[in-house]
């Protein structure tokens, strides 16, 4: 065990050479170049915040998933892959695709068609001030927290790579993100997300293929995982059985439920319905990408086009994690219950280090540089996505609506840039807070449960039930969020050591239940309150409620001229069939 501490370089996790640095430097030249080029195109606040609504669907579609393909997803999902195995795919196939398709087919026409500039603004028009304030404030707060987590992971990889102290790494990373967003606004963020997507694939695909080659193909990986899971050390460390690690269903290891039946229910309802619909359909970070597209048809196709790459992302994210668990010595030791020293934090190897250690073990210099550039790209894009969504909501929904109304467009553009600076500074402090949480995924799922699950309940009820009142909007939202907090507080570990352990749930299972509680409480209270309060006049609900909106407002009049493979519904159908096939295969 002690000998492990001396593995390659004593101070940095990975030994990069001059060629690797050249590749990384090239990436930064391109990132800043995009910022400078986009700066010339930004002439008013719609350009800065919504990219002038001018982008084609494939660009916004890739940005849609890239905004989410940040540090948290890549490191967190490969960590889950190393720890739990293949059931992690549920975060993609159950926990993302159906919700993305629903967003494109059902909800996007309302968002795009009503010409709102943000999701909270939709809330304002449907429910008025109360619900708007709750939504705008909680969203802004969540973005700051998540930007901090992304920044922390970015700082820790720079620390691991260059050996810089964490705080220096945090500041440098923050400065780069800050410079390209203040320069180019959303266009720069979206273009960098698209570029990042390709660099990520160029980084992770070779890593996966070489890793598979080293373990003897997929069959070799299965054999090695089976062998490992049956060893005495693995049994003692309560490693999930090979059966569970190699099959996505029923996924007890993921849900934390011991009964297969409840595990499937938890995954389908908790993750697949409440958490994922809440996240994908109401999260402005994602929806903002679609709003930047050039027509209602492109806006609807944004999440649908995004769903195709999204369903294959697990193969280059989770698979490397699983390979790392059998190929990288330190991860194997960790999984067998050991505490190998080293890791990105320097305080011992964690599952979050799986990808970095696999890169160290299988990539030659050159590809190593591409891989590092890819990770840095993902982390920066993740953070930039949070910050570009934050500055829109802050400028339009908080500052313009409640603090300084009716100023010039230039004024709000300036506020947007200042908000970007402020958010970046706060993210640096959030990053320091985030560093004390061991499993980043748990921490984030917990947050999503609080903010997104009740939001989806309120949105969907408000979109399809015209009787729902403004009072019900804010009451349901607040009570739903509160009930998620209470469940998390009473669970074993959703809030780490603060949780009381009254409800015997831990891990992802606790997050599923907290989110489901929020959803149910929100729906029930909204219905009860609506029946006792005054609804909005029907004339104000056009474009906001399904029954009051003429069909022609919800579809693109030009869409029937496109060939079938470029229309919304056929694309969504193909995506659904593909993801169902994937579920049967694994």
Name the residues that contact another protein, by CB under 8 A.
19, 22-23, 26-27, 30, 33-34, 37-46, 52-54, 56, 59, 115, 117, 121, 124-125, 182-183, 191, 194-195, 198-199, 202, 206, 210, 213-214, 294, 361-367, 369-370, 400-401, 405-410, 412-414, 417-418, 421
- DSSP, collapsed to helix, strand or coil, labels residue 56 as coil
Nearest distance from C-beta of residue 396 to another protein, angstroms? 9
Nearest distance from C-beta of residue 568 to another protein, angstroms? 20
In terms of CB distance, is 377 or 572 closer to another protein?
377
User: Taking phi first (over 0 means left), then psi (-120 to 50 degrees means alpha), and beta for anything else, what does residue 217 get?
Assistant: left
Nearest distance from C-beta of residue 439 to another protein, angstroms? 29
Contact call for residues 357 and 13 (beta carbons, < 8 A): yes
User: Taking phi first (over 0 means left), then psi (-120 to 50 degrees means alpha), and beta for anything else, what does residue 208 get?
Assistant: alpha
In terms of CB distance, is 347 or 410 closer to another protein?
410
Q: Whole-angstrom Cα distance, residue 306 to residue 145?
A: 25
In terms of CB distance, is 197 or 459 closer to another protein?
197
Nearest distance from C-beta of residue 41 to another protein, angstroms? 5
Nearest distance from C-beta of residue 306 to another protein, angstroms? 16
Q: Please work out, in degrees rounded to the nearest 5, the angle formed at the alpha carbon of residue 111 by the alpha carbons of 110 and 116.
A: 120
Nearest distance from C-beta of residue 83 to another protein, angstroms? 24
Q: Whole-angstrom Cα distance, residue 182 to residue 179?
A: 5
In terms of CB distance, is 405 or 551 closer to another protein?
405
In terms of CB distance, is 44 or 227 closer to another protein?
44
The secondary structure of 336-367, three-state, reads CCCCCCCCCCCCCCCHHHHHHHHHHHHCCCCH
The secondary structure of 536-579, three-state, reads CCHHHHCCCCHHHCCHHHHCCCCHHHCCHHHCHHHHHHHHHHHH
In terms of CB distance, is 385 or 525 closer to another protein?
385
Nearest distance from C-beta of residue 115 to another protein, angstroms? 5
Contact call for residues 492 and 499 (beta carbons, < 8 A): yes
- DSSP, collapsed to helix, strand or coil, labels residue 320 as helix
Contact call for residues 415 and 104 (beta carbons, < 8 A): no
Nearest distance from C-beta of residue 113 to another protein, angstroms? 12
Contact call for residues 97 and 258 (beta carbons, < 8 A): no
In terms of CB distance, is 129 or 241 closer to another protein?
129
Nearest to 312 by CA among 500, 8, 65, 559: 65
In terms of CB distance, is 413 or 423 closer to another protein?
413
Nearest to 415 by CA among 45, 43, 142: 45
Q: Which residues pair with 293 in a beta bridge?
A: 55
In terms of CB distance, is 165 or 366 closer to another protein?
366
Contact call for residues 452 and 278 (beta carbons, < 8 A): yes
In terms of CB distance, is 158 or 207 closer to another protein?
207
Q: Whole-angstrom Cα distance, residue 272 to residue 402?
A: 36
In terms of CB distance, is 96 or 183 closer to another protein?
183
Q: Which residues contact 102 (CB under 8 A, 6 or more apart)?
A: 277, 280, 281
In terms of CB distance, is 23 or 254 closer to another protein?
23
In terms of CB distance, is 406 or 498 closer to another protein?
406
For residue 237, CA distances in Å to 84, 225, 321, 333, 521 come to: 13, 15, 18, 10, 38
DSSP single-letter state for residue 405: -
Nearest to 460 by CA among 224, 273, 312, 189: 273
Nearest distance from C-beta of residue 67 to another protein, angstroms? 15
Q: Which residues pair with 55 in a beta bridge?
A: 293
Nearest distance from C-beta of residue 147 to another protein, angstroms? 19
In terms of CB distance, is 500 or 542 closer to another protein?
542
Nearest distance from C-beta of residue 6 to another protein, angstroms? 18
Nearest distance from C-beta of residue 469 to another protein, angstroms? 17
Angle of the 409-434 helix axis to the 166-215 helix axis, nearest 10? 70
Q: Whole-angstrom Cα distance, residue 467 to residue 463?
A: 10
Whether the link from the prior residue into 250 is cis, omega within 30° of 0, is yes
């Amino acid at each position: 065990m002690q000998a492990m501490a001396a593995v390659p370089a004593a101070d940095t996790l990975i030994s990069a050479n001059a060629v690797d640095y050249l590749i990384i430097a090239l990436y930064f030249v391109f990132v800043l170049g995009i910022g400078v080029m986009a700066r010339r195109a930004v002439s008013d606040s719609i350009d800065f915040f919504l990219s002038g609504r001018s982008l084609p669907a494939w660009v916004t579609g890739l940005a849609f998933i890239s905004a989410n393909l940040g540090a948290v997803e890549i490191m967190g999902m490969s960590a889950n892959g190393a720890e739990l195995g293949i059931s992690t795919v549920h975060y993609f196939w159950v926990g993302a695709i159906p919700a993305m398709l629903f967003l494109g087919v059902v909800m996007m026409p309302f968002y795009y068609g009503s010409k709102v500039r943000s999701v909270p603004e939709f809330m304002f028009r449907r429910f008025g001030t109360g619900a708007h304030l709750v939504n705008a404030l909680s969203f802004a707060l969540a973005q700051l927290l998540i930007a901090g987590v992304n920044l922390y992971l970015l700082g820790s990889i720079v620390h691991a790579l260059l050996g810089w102290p964490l705080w220096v790494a945090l500041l440098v990373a923050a400065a780069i993100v800050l410079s390209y967003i203040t320069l180019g606004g959303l266009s720069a963020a979206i273009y960098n997300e698209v570029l990042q997507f390709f660099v990520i694939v160029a980084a992770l695909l070779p890593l996966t293929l070489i890793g598979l080659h080293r373990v003897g193909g997929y069959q070799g990986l299965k054999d090695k995982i089976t062998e490992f899971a049956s060893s005495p050390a693995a049994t003692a460390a309560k490693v999930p059985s090979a059966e569970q690690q190699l099959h996505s269903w029923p996924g007890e290891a993921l849900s934390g439920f011991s009964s297969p039946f409840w595990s499937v229910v938890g995954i389908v309802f908790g993750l697949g319905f409440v958490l994922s619909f809440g996240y994908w359909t109401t999260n402005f970070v994602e929806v903002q990408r679609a709003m930047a597209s050039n027509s209602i048809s492109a806006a609807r196709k944004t999440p649908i086009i995004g769903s195709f790459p999204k369903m294959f992302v697990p193969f280059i994210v989770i698979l490397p994690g699983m390979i790392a668990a059998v190929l990288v010595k330190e991860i194997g030791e960790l999984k067998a219950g050991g505490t190998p020293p080293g890791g990105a934090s320097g305080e011992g190897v964690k599952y979050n280090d799986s990808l970095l250690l696999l890169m160290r073990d299988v990539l030659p210099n050159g590809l190593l540089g591409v891989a590092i550039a890819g990770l840095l790209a993902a982390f920066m894009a993740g953070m930039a996505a949070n910050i570009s969504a934050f500055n829109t909501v802050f400028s339009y929904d908080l500052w313009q609506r409640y603090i300084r109304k009716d100023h010039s467009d230039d004024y709000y553009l300036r506020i947007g840039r200042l908000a970007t600076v402020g958010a970046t500074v706060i993210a640096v402090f959030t990053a320091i807070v985030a560093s004390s949480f061991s499993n980043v995924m748990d921490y984030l799922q917990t947050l999503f449960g609080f903010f997104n699950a009740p939001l989806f309940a309120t949105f969907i009820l408000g979109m399809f039930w015209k009787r729902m009142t403004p009072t019900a909007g804010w009451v349901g939202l607040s009570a739903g969020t509160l009930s998620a907090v209470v469940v998390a507080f009473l669970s074993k570990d959703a809030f780490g050591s603060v949780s009381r352990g009254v409800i015997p749930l831990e891990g992802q299972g606790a997050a599923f239940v907290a989110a489901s509680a929020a959803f149910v409480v929100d729906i029930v209270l909204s219905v009860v309150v609506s029946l006792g309060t005054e609804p909005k006049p029907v004339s104000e609900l056009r474009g906001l409620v399904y029954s009051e909106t003429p069909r022609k407002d919800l579809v693109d009049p030009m869409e029937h001229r496109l060939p079938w493979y470029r229309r919304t519904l056929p694309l969504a159908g193909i995506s659904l069939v593909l993801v169902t096939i994937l579920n049967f295969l694994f």
